[in-house]
Structure formats: structure tokens, C-alpha cells
Amino acid sequence: MAQLVFFTGTMDSGKSTLALQMDHNHAARGRDGLIFSRNDRAGEAILSSRLGLAVPAVEVTDGTDFWAEVVRRRTHGARVDYLICDEVQFYSPEQVEQLARLVDEMGVDVFGFGITTDFRTRLFPGSARMLELADRVERLQVEALCWCGARATHNARTVGGVMVTEGAQVVVGDTERDDAAGPGVGAEPDAGPEVGYEVLCRFHHLHRVTAARARAASLSPQTLPLGE
């Protein structure tokens, strides 16, 4: 039986690396699949890992119809046994429903990868629909860590080095610095302060204590501010 499976975790938990491994494993067994991604850190039509691995992918846009895409390919004689869908949080709920229909009506396995919540700790619409429809949800076992060493559970956005909790859900950000590797790729932001991302534990997200702020205040994990 085909399945809709959602693999989820915070930034830096190895989702894209697992997506690449899943594609390799299925292809090695003679299965034919398609790789989809949206707003990958390496650019358009690419699925890349922070470990440096990258493969071509089909870029998902607002107009992508997964059902029509698979029908078109099968009509032209191509096999489509499975789909690897990275950055699912950026898909629309309707696109996630198309993926579920492919599983149920065409027997196509769909493996989705993405984060669940944005920098405001609110569910992304695509991830919310995946959680509602998936046959199985797998939380990645590789734990990203907050600057304090605790398990990171929240994605934070910084603007000009200051953590923010308001703004557009999808904004391009620096994904290279240790305090700015995040899920904010999307529409180009207006010119202004630099946007970055990092992962934090719940406590430090609640009190807006980023790694940069902690360093500036010469804090250690035992010296925890209670907000301002």
C-alpha cells in the first residue's frame, strides 16, 4: 500500500539529507521517482543538504499541480513510483491534498520533508495539512541544539541581529551564519536590515535570547535572562 509520510524536525535536523538518502535507496531498488523542492537554500530547481550534497529537482510554485504533473508523465510512458517532496511547509494545503490523492488513487508513495512551525511558533499551512492527512509522521532523531546546548525546538528570525516575532511568514534570510540558518527563503525582502535565522530551545525563544545576544551579554547556559 502506498503511503503519505511526513518527516519533520527543526532547522539543522537533517531533513534534506534524509530526503536525498530516501531517493537513493528507492532508486537503487529500481523504482522511478520525482524530486520536488521549493525555495531551497542552493537556488531554484535544486534539493541540497547542509552537508554539501545536491541534486536537480522540480521547483514547486504556487501553480504546481502534483496530480496533473504525474498524470502528464505517466501519459507519456514514464513511471512514477514515488515522490520526494522537500520544504513541504511552503506548499499550499491544496497541493498537499493533491499529494494525498496521488497516494490513494494512483498508488504513488509520497515522502514529504519540512519544518512544522515558523519563527512565530505558528504552523505553516502546508505542514498543518500534512499533519492532518499523513499516514505516518516521523520526527527526525537528529536533534538540533540551541546555543545553550539544550534541544532546539523553535525556529527564530532575526532582523539586524535582533530577534523578531512579527512579519511575513516567508522571508529570505542568511542561511550560512551559525545564528542564521533558517526556513525563511521565499519572496525577496525589501532593502533593509539583514534577516537571519537560528534554532532555539523554548525558553530562549520565549525570552528572545539568541546566540548573538548571549555572547554580547557574556552569558552562559547557567545565566538565563528573564526578558526585558
- Catalytic residue list: 87
Q: How deeply is 89 buried, as exposed, middle or buried, from its count of CB atoms within 10 A (0-12, 13-18, 19+)?
A: buried
Could you tell me where the beta strands, DSSP code E, fall in 49-103?
54-56, 58-59, 82-85
Residues with Cβ within 8 Å of 187's Cβ and at least 6 positions away in sequence, in order, are 168, 170, 171, 172
Q: CA-CA distance, 9 to 45, in Å (whole number)?
A: 22
Residue (of 26, 135, 136, 37) closest to 81 by Cα position: 26
Furthest-apart CA atoms within the chain: distance in Å: 63
Q: How deeply is 199 buried, as exposed, middle or buried, from its count of CB atoms within 10 A (0-12, 13-18, 19+)?
A: buried
24-42 burial, b at 16+ Cβ within 10 Å, e below that, comes to eebeeeeeebbbbbbbbbe
* Helix, strand or coil, per DSSP, at residue 162: strand
